[in-house]
Amino acid sequence: MALKEQDIKDIAHLARLGLDESAQAPLAADLSTVLELVEQMNSVNTDGVEPMAHPGNAVLRLRDDTVTEPNQRDKLQEVAPATEDGYFLVPRVIE
């Protein structure tokens, strides 16, 4: 499928891209090559070919969601200048 420069202008307009006039001809050739490759791939007979593995079918091995460290909040807040109800108090930034 050969694209013309007008096709490139239309595609660029739809994609809201600004293209120089000098870039349109090489881009038309490159896109035409890609579309020809897609046509070749679509013409291949894939009857009887099983799909390959897909990562979406994989099952994740997850670890148990358990606490592995002791709670040290009180010890860590001892050096804080101001705390209240287990939270660090900081100066207000947004009025």
pLDDT given at position 85? 93
Percent of the chain exceeding pLDDT 90 equals 56
For residue 82, count CB atoms less than 10 angstroms from its CB and return exposed for 0-12, middle for 13-18, buried for 19 or more: exposed
Percent of the chain exceeding pLDDT 70 equals 99
The pLDDT tens digits for 35-67 are 999 999 999 999 998 888 877 777 888 889 999
pLDDT given at position 59? 82
pLDDT given at position 5? 85
The pLDDT tens digits for 4-35 are 888 889 999 999 999 888 988 899 999 999 99
pLDDT given at position 52? 82
The pLDDT tens digits for 61-89 are 888 999 999 999 999 999 999 999 999 99
